[in-house]
Every structure is written in C-alpha cells, then in structure tokens.
A and B are shown apart, each in its own frame.
Chain A
Amino acid sequence: MNDFSSVAVSPVGVVRRDPRKEWMARNRLHPRHHEVISEGVGGEMGANGLMRRNPRQIGFIGPNGIKRIDRLKGNAVQTPNKRQSVVPEVVLPWHVVATADFYIFVVPDMVGGRLSGHDKDILGLAHRLQKEIAGQGAVVAVCFGEVKETQFELAGVDRLVHFAGAEFEGFAAEAKAAALAAMDERWAPKHWLFPDSIHGGTDLGSRLAAELGERPATQAWQVDLEKTVARGAGGSLDISRATPRILFLLEECAYPIDETRHQVLSLEMPEVQRPAPRLLDQGLVAVDPNEIPLAEAEFILSAGNGIHNWAQFHQTAKALGATEGASRVAVDDGFMPRSRQVGASGTWVTARVYIAVGISGAIQHLQGIAQCDKIIAINTDAGCDMVKRANLAVIDDSDAILSALMMLANEKLVEPGAVQGNTNKEDSDAA
C-alpha cells in the first residue's frame, strides 16, 4: 500500500508508520521534503553485487490519494507566481501653444526646489481657466532661486520664467515682488495665481497685490471665470464674489494636469530694477531640532530595533541636527519616549528627509511616513520592506554607518568651506 520508507515493518511484524515523514513527503515546501522523497531511491546493493532499485518506492501519495513523482529532484525552475507584466511606457500627447494670445501666471512655492502637490493643483486650475477664456493662452510658471524640478513638462508648464541669482536665494520677498511687478508690466497676464500657503506664496502674493493696488481673493477654493468662492472669517464663511485678477488658492482647488505634456519654453524677462533691500536676511537660526514637534520636523533620524548603541544614536542625531524619531519597538523597550513614536499609533510625520535606522518597515510604521519625500534606510537585511520603500538604502550594520556619518558631520562642522551646499551655514554664522 504505502510504498515509501515511512512504513517500516518491525521485528515483531507490526507495521509502523511515521506520520511525520509522510507529512514532510506531502509538503513540497518543507525544507526536508527532498531528503524524505529521495530516501531509498538510490537502491541498495543486492546479494550478487548488483544495484537493486524498487521502482515502486519512488514518489509519494498526495493528499488526494494520487501518486506524485517529482522527477526534477528539486531542480525545478522557480516559476514566478505572478505573471510578469511589462508596463508599457505611456507617452502623453503634447499640448502646444505656438503663439499665446494671453498668459496666466502661476508663482509656485517650489518647496525644496520642486513643485509641491499644492503647486501642481494650481497649475491644473490655471489650465482650466485658460480653457474658459477665448483664444489660446499659455500657463507660465515663475520660479526663483535654485530649481531642482525635472517634471515641469508633465505638470502643465507652457512657459517657464526662472529668476536665478544670489539676490533671490534665502529670504528675498522684496526682490521677488519687484520681479513679479516688472513681469506684470511687461506681460499683463490675465491672472496671477498664488498658493495660499505658509511657504511664502501668501506673503509674495500679498506684496504684489499691494504693489499693483488690486484686491486679491484669498483662501479661494472654487474658481471659474466669473465666480470665486473663498473662505473667510477664519475659515467659517464661504464668500462668493466676482473672480479678481489675483487669486490665492487653497490646496486641492483643482486637479493637477495628468494627460498632456507641455513645452516649458522660456519667456522674455524684463530688466528688473531693484530698490535697495529693506529687509536684510541674516540667515536661518539654529533651532534645537528636538524642540520642533515631530509632525512638523523636516529631517528625522528614526531608530528601531536594529539600534544597539543608543548613546551613539543620540550623538549622531545631534551632530546631523536631526529630530529624533523611533519605531514602536524602540519605544516599547523603553529606549525612547512615547512622544517620539512614528507610525499608525504614534505621529504621522511629514519630514522631507527621513532616515530609518534598523527599522524593518512594518505597515504600521510605513503608514506614518507615507508623506515623507526622501527616505533613507540603514538596515542589515536587504529584503525588508523599509529597503523597498527607501529612495536610498544602505545594507550595513547601524553602528558602523552611524559612526561614519557622525565623523562626516563633525568634519563638516570643523571645515564648513570644504563641502558644497554651505551657503546657509555662513549666513547663520554671521547672525
């Protein structure tokens, strides 16, 4: 009946089965499956020196009573369980504005040099307004300072004006407003759209509106050519009014552009004559990163179960100037206070840069960092979920990497001129 070695006849003639071996033989994923299956297959030496094989002993009886023979002996090609899908590259059609009859100007925030979601919504709104107006219009984005964005084409920018130069770096609201006023005089756009945000959009827009003597609609969220609905009285009123030329828009005021590509041509910039600046920028002030609420922090160094040297972790956070975060395990084990926990049952963070040291990336943790821009993972396990989510993953021991990072940070402190990107540093030294 049973024809493999899990059945043995004992000296007294009692048939003994080994249910464990049978189970291993049935379970093809069991690590010892092949061992059990190939037991006895090799045959044994007969009395006259010939190898004798019992052809009935190969294979095993599957759970539904059918005999199964695995002739591949574990050499089967691993078939991927999912069908390999090749996502075809989608090429979006061009939206061409050869000669523009009019212009709509958008002044994006460009937080960190890139278009934010808010900026993209407003570019989408600009295109909606453009379609409603007779003639063909171009949507112009006006950017200042350093720009790292590479996807202007897909965000709906027909024309790009980029004011570069030291005078637009850092805090330069007055210089920017003067540049915008000059652009207004040269191009007389149909609309000026600003994000109503704390990242500078409101400030810049208000300066321009005061300069041009026009009344803007602020906190607007429903806009068409005739009517604008804007929030008022601390967000408790909806004010409906005729759409003015200058608009400050809330988030999600329109859908971003996603079906067309745009030309991103440059637009002539008028000569801007700048009055002597009255607000003198003294640079960013060093704030204690651990004073910043975790939900607001820009740069978080987060520790998980893979941290073994806590003193070193705190020193590194201090050297890098990062706000400290932690996974739940680190908090439960008592190494970090509860207020530092990142994740579903802790704080949902919005950091621009998040370094996860020794965190495996459990879903509850990943939920908490869903809004982070750049994620760096330091982990010994290349297959963990955090590495899959990370923009940059480093597979190494946390101790070694943290001490190397700390050395780099300290070197930079000693010699600020030697490394790139240190303009702000000099400013704050002067302050």
Chain B
Amino acid sequence: MPLNIVSLVSVGRHPQSGRSRRAEQDGRAVEMGLKLAGQQLSVVHVGNPDEPVLRQYAGMGLSSLTVLKQADRFDAVPVLQRYLEQKNIDIVLTGVRSESGESSGMVPYLLAHALGWPVVARVADIVCVEKGEAQVLLALPRGQRRAVRVALPFIASLDLAAPPARQSAFGVGLRAKIETIESIGEVDQIRVDWQEAEAKPRAKRLKTVKAKTAAERFKAATAKPQGDAGKVLINETTQQKAQAIFDLLLEEKVIR
C-alpha cells in the first residue's frame, strides 16, 4: 500500500539578498516525501497560487501542487486542519521554522494538537515505515542522532540535517499543474496588531564590572579570570590516573 504523504511548503527568503526562494527546510520536506512516496506525494501550500516560488518546488519532479488560496493576513492552521482531516493521511512533513512571516515553528504542533496526532520535531531521516509504524531519526545538537518509533499518522518537522533538496528543474516546474482550492480563513488578529521592523543588530553584551572602589575596578580590569584550580594527579599509579579520567568521562556521559 503506498503511503499517503503530504509535504507542506512555504515561501522562503534568502538570508542575504532577501529574495523569495524555495525554503531550505521545506525543500527537505519535499525531498523526504519523494523518497517515501515517490510520485504519490502531495505538496500543499497555503497562500497565493500565483507565487513563482511554488514552481521551484514543482521543479523537483512534481506533476501537481495544491494551493489552499487565502490572503496573507489569514491564519494558515485552520485551513490546513480542515484540508488534512478530509484526506486519509499517513505522514505530514513540514520544516522546523518558516523563513518568512512569524517563523514561530508552531504550525506542526498546532496541527498535531488539532488532529490529535503525535509530532516529532527536528527529524533527520525517516528510515522506514512498516506495519503502521515509522522508524525516525531525530537530529540532536552536536551531530548526535536519536532513534524514535512512532505510529502513523504523525507530523514530522525536518531539520537541516535531513538530506538536502534535489536540484529544481525549471521546465518541469513550469509544466506542473497548480490546483487551487478556495478557502475561507480566519483573520489572524494578533498578527494584524503587531508592528514589524527590519531586524536591528543586537548589541554585544558588555562585561559590566560592579566595582565600588578604584582598587576593585583596577583589579577587575587587570586580573586574570581565576578559575578554581583543577585536580592534578601526580603520584598515583598509571592505572589509577586512567581510572580517574575514565570516571569523569562516564560521569559526563560522553562514553556510552
């Protein structure tokens, strides 16, 4: 039985030029979807069906793309929820955080909560799906991976550690069919009320010295930071010294 997989895509933003582009993580969501479901994959976008960036996703080898049409100031989650409820879906793939808009990363969680599904965040790979269960690798900090088993259906957000999106072919992208579904949305009131401005560079934190006397200020400016001296083993046997190191490694859980 082929899997019924949906990848949700959004409009990305190039960090330097600010131009619209295929979002890094969403591209990975499509790539992962293609790996699991091949041509059966459906790709869904909420927003403007005439957005040229959608062609970049389609250029990854999709024959069609679904757009739930609605204006920017509407909330994407209720529409998506209604759409996903109608279909018999196994896995929904998203990025961790969008590159435009609020970038809150809440969409997978809100959808999962609304649909009553589990959500796995920061997925590096979906290794296999069998007997209604998926074997998922999570990307942890410092290049570590954790294996997790989760029952279908579920929502997964893809980390940058997932396999990168394939090259997008311009012609294929142009030929893909974009199916538009009209939808009635709800206005995102909080978003209407907030103010946006270009991001200010954040000031570097200064080393503040709370010294009361000149002598203290002088000391703070000149003294080397005094770390509490560590333990030094000199006269123990080699075996004991190695054991001391090994115990510290175990205590810090870097050896498993």
**By the criterion CB–CB under 8 Å, are B118 and A279 in contact?**
yes
B238: which of A199, A215, A234, A400 is its contact (CB, 8 Å)?
A: A400
Query: Inside 8 A of A391's CB, which chain B residues have their CB?
Result: 230-231, 248
Interface window among B52-60, B64-72, B145-153, B169-177: B145-153
Whether a CB of chain B sits under 8 angstroms from the CB of A409 is yes
Query: Inside 8 A of B99's CB, which chain A residues have their CB?
Result: 233-234
Q: How far is the CB of B102 from chain A (nearest CB, A)?
A: 5
Whether a CB of chain B sits under 8 angstroms from the CB of A28 is no
Q: A279-B118, A298-B254, A353-B254 known; A252 and B202 CB under 8 Å?
A: yes
Whether a CB of chain B sits under 8 angstroms from the CB of A232 is yes
Q: A206-B106, A280-B149, A390-B230 known; A293 and B195 CB under 8 Å?
A: no
Whether a CB of chain A sits under 8 angstroms from the CB of B74 is no
- The majority secondary structure among interface residues of chain A is mixed
In the docked arrangement, what's the CA distance between A394 and B247, Å? 13
Whether a CB of chain B sits under 8 angstroms from the CB of A198 is yes
Interface residues of A in 149-194 (CB under 8 A from B): 170-171, 173-174
**By the criterion CB–CB under 8 Å, are A405 and B242 in contact?**
yes
Q: A233-B99, A421-B250 known; A287 and B144 CB under 8 Å?
A: yes
Query: Inside 8 A of B244's CB, which chain A residues have their CB?
Result: 392, 394
**By the criterion CB–CB under 8 Å, are B144 and A203 in contact?**
no
Whether a CB of chain A sits under 8 angstroms from the CB of B211 is no
Query: Inside 8 A of B140's CB, which chain A residues have their CB?
Result: 284
Query: Inside 8 A of A378's CB, which chain B residues have their CB?
Result: 245
**By the criterion CB–CB under 8 Å, are B100 and A321 in contact?**
no
Whether a CB of chain A sits under 8 angstroms from the CB of B249 is yes
Interface residues of B in 218-256 (CB under 8 A from A): 226-227, 229-234, 238-239, 241-246, 248-256
Whether a CB of chain B sits under 8 angstroms from the CB of A318 is no
Query: Inside 8 A of A207's CB, which chain B residues have their CB?
Result: 109, 119
Q: Which among B100, B194, B226, B243 has the greatest number of chain A C-beta atoms within 10 A?
A: B194
**By the criterion CB–CB under 8 Å, are B148 and A171 in contact?**
yes
Whether a CB of chain A sits under 8 angstroms from the CB of B2 is no
**By the criterion CB–CB under 8 Å, are B190 and A241 in contact?**
yes
Q: A171-B148, A404-B241 known; A210 and B104 CB under 8 Å?
A: no
Count class of interface residues, chain B: 35 or more
In the docked arrangement, what's the CA distance between A218 and B205, Å? 21
**By the criterion CB–CB under 8 Å, are A405 and B234 in contact?**
no
**By the criterion CB–CB under 8 Å, are B105 and A218 in contact?**
yes
Q: Which among B135, B148, B193, B239 has the greatest number of chain A C-beta atoms within 10 A?
A: B148
Interface residues of B in 117-147 (CB under 8 A from A): 118-122, 135, 137-138, 140-147
**By the criterion CB–CB under 8 Å, are A293 and B143 in contact?**
yes
Interface residues of B in 181-231 (CB under 8 A from A): 190, 193-200, 202, 205, 208, 210, 226-227, 229-231
Query: Inside 8 A of A202's CB, which chain B residues have their CB?
Result: 105, 121
In the docked arrangement, what's the CA distance between A389 and B227, Å? 8
Query: Inside 8 A of A233's CB, which chain B residues have their CB?
Result: 13, 99-103
Whether a CB of chain B sits under 8 angstroms from the CB of A66 is no
In the docked arrangement, what's the CA distance between A201 and B149, Å? 21
**By the criterion CB–CB under 8 Å, are B248 and A392 in contact?**
yes
Q: Which residue of A lies closest to B147 (CB)?
A: A282
Q: Which among A112, A238, A425 has the greatest number of chain B C-beta atoms within 10 A?
A: A238
**By the criterion CB–CB under 8 Å, are A376 and B245 in contact?**
yes
**By the criterion CB–CB under 8 Å, are A238 and B200 in contact?**
yes
**By the criterion CB–CB under 8 Å, are B199 and A235 in contact?**
yes
Q: A216-B104, A281-B148, A283-B147 known; A241 and B194 CB under 8 Å?
A: yes
Query: Inside 8 A of A409's CB, which chain B residues have their CB?
Result: 246, 255
Q: How far is the CB of B182 from chain A (nearest CB, A)?
A: 26
Count class of interface residues, chain A: 35 or more
A296: which of B122, B143, B253 is its contact (CB, 8 Å)?
A: B143
**By the criterion CB–CB under 8 Å, are A280 and B150 in contact?**
yes
Whether a CB of chain A sits under 8 angstroms from the CB of B89 is no
Q: How far is the CB of B128 from chain A (nearest CB, A)?
A: 13
Query: Inside 8 A of A321's CB, which chain B residues have their CB?
Result: 254-256
**By the criterion CB–CB under 8 Å, are B121 and A203 in contact?**
yes
Q: A237-B196, A238-B196, A240-B197 known; A282 and B148 CB under 8 Å?
A: yes
B142: which of A210, A297, A420 is its contact (CB, 8 Å)?
A: A297
B199: which of A238, A280, A297 is its contact (CB, 8 Å)?
A: A238
A392: which of B98, B145, B245 is its contact (CB, 8 Å)?
A: B245
In the docked arrangement, what's the CA distance between A400 and B240, Å? 12
Interface residues of A in 379-422 (CB under 8 A from B): 382, 387-396, 400-401, 404-405, 407-409, 412, 419-422
Q: How far is the CB of A312 from chain B (nearest CB, A)?
A: 13
Q: A240-B194, A321-B255, A401-B238 known; A218 and B113 CB under 8 Å?
A: no
Q: Which among A292, A404, A431 has the greatest number of chain B C-beta atoms within 10 A?
A: A404
In the docked arrangement, what's the CA distance between A213 and B113, Å? 9
Query: Inside 8 A of B105's CB, which chain A residues have their CB?
Result: 202, 206, 218
Whether a CB of chain A sits under 8 angstroms from the CB of B112 is yes
Whether a CB of chain B sits under 8 angstroms from the CB of A209 is yes
Q: A210-B110, A391-B230, A400-B238 known; A284 and B256 CB under 8 Å?
A: yes
**By the criterion CB–CB under 8 Å, are A393 and B231 in contact?**
yes
Query: Inside 8 A of B147's CB, which chain A residues have their CB?
Result: 281-285, 431
In the docked arrangement, what's the CA distance between A297 and B150, Å? 28
Q: Which residue of A lies closest to B248 (CB)?
A: A392
Interface pairs A-B: 4 shortest CB-CB: A404-B242, A292-B143, A282-B147, A241-B194
User: Using a CB–CB distance below 8 Å, which chain B residues touch chain A?
Assistant: 12-13, 15, 18, 97-106, 109-110, 112-113, 118-122, 135, 137-138, 140-151, 154, 190, 193-200, 202, 205, 208, 210, 226-227, 229-234, 238-239, 241-246, 248-256
Between A and B, 7 residue pairs with Cβ closer than 8 Å are A202-B121, A206-B106, A218-B106, A241-B195, A292-B143, A320-B249, A390-B232
Besides A198-B141, A393-B233, A396-B241, 6 other CB < 8 A contacts? A209-B109, A210-B106, A232-B102, A237-B196, A376-B248, A392-B245
